[in-house]
Amino acid sequence: MKDGIKKGLVTRNVVELVDAPKIRRKRVEAFDAEHNQRLVDLFSGEMKTIVALALTTGMRRGEIAGLK
């Protein structure tokens, strides 16, 4: 918007009139290697592989489901 004002494309920056909501950030704690291993050990077979893949690569459910 500021660039638009400089170039004469808009007469005023209406974005400055908005009070944007404050974003509350949540603290995220990742598992350590021991927790990861304990979680993987709860599963067996193909599901064990899927859980290990998710934990080690950060892939999402849909991405893992699309693998052959």
Residue 58's contacts (CB-CB under 8 Å, 6 or more residues apart) are none
pTM over 0.85: no
| CB 38, CB 46: distance < 8 Å | no
| CB 48, CB 40: distance < 8 Å | yes
pLDDT at residue 20, as a whole number: 86
Mean pLDDT by 10 residues, the chain (68 residues): 88 88 90 93 94 92 91
Domain map of the chain by residue range?
28-68
